[in-house]
Amino acid sequence: MKKELATALNTYLADLGVLYIKLHNLHWNVVGRDFKQVHEYLETLYDGVSGVLDEVAELLKMQGEQPLASLKDYLAAASVQELPSAELHSREVLAIVHGDMTNLRDQAQKIRVAADAEDGYAVVSMMESHLAQYNKTLWFVEAMQK
Ligand SMILES: [Fe+2]
């Protein structure tokens, strides 16, 4: 695996690590008339992110690369921005989730293209399955925002 691809996968991993906690923050702190729906949906999302985080780290290990594995490393490498520990209206929560999921989808798309160029079929196939999940999540969030 080329160094640039390993770095892109580690940035993606760091973003998943930060997003895992951030989705809990939103799950705990969301308020609004649709609290129950959004609160429960956020649980589905962080459970999904937990699985994806593990998959990406194990993929890096299988390819002989070192995955980032500490919160300190994740914060240093991530592009996903953390939030303060405070209440947020469901409207803002959905906009934040939409932004972060779009960011991760764009990264998965770029990683897929880079992996394809070096015949990294395991990475290509994983990114394709992640892309399908992000597109589904974005469809859900956009429908909830109407
Ligand atoms: Fe919970």
Q: How far is the CA of 5 from the centre of ligand 1 (A)?
A: 35
> Which CATH fold topology does 3-145 show?
Ferritin (1.20.1260)
Ligand 1: distance of its center to the CA of 36 in Å?
Answer: 11
Query: Which value, in Å, is the radius of gyration of the alpha carbons in the chain?
Result: 15
Question: What spacing in Å lies between the alpha carbon of 27 and ligand 1's midpoint?
Answer: 7
| Distance (Å) from CA 71 to ligand 1 centroid | 21
- Ligand 1 centroid to Cα of residue 100, in Å, is 20
What confidence score (pLDDT) does residue 127 get? 98
How much is the pLDDT for 75? Answer: 98
In DSSP terms, 88 is beta-bridged to 30
Whole-number Å distance, alpha carbon 40 to ligand 1 midpoint, is 8
CA of 4 to the centre of ligand 1 (A): 37
Residue 44 CA to ligand 1 center (angstroms) comes to 10
Closest CA to 107 of 126, 122, 121, 92: 126
Position 24 scores a pLDDT of 98
What are the tens digits of pLDDT across the range 103-138? 999 999 999 999 999 999 999 999 999 999 999 999
- The domain segmentation of the chain, as residue ranges, is 3-145
Residue 133 has what pLDDT?
98
DSSP string, 2-25: -HHHHHHHHHHHHHHHHHHHHHHH
Task: Give the Å distance between the CA of 16 and the centre of ligand 1.
Answer: 18
**Tens digits of residue pLDDT in 55-101:** 999 999 999 999 999 999 999 999 999 999 999 999 999 999 999 99
Quote the pLDDT of residue 46. 98
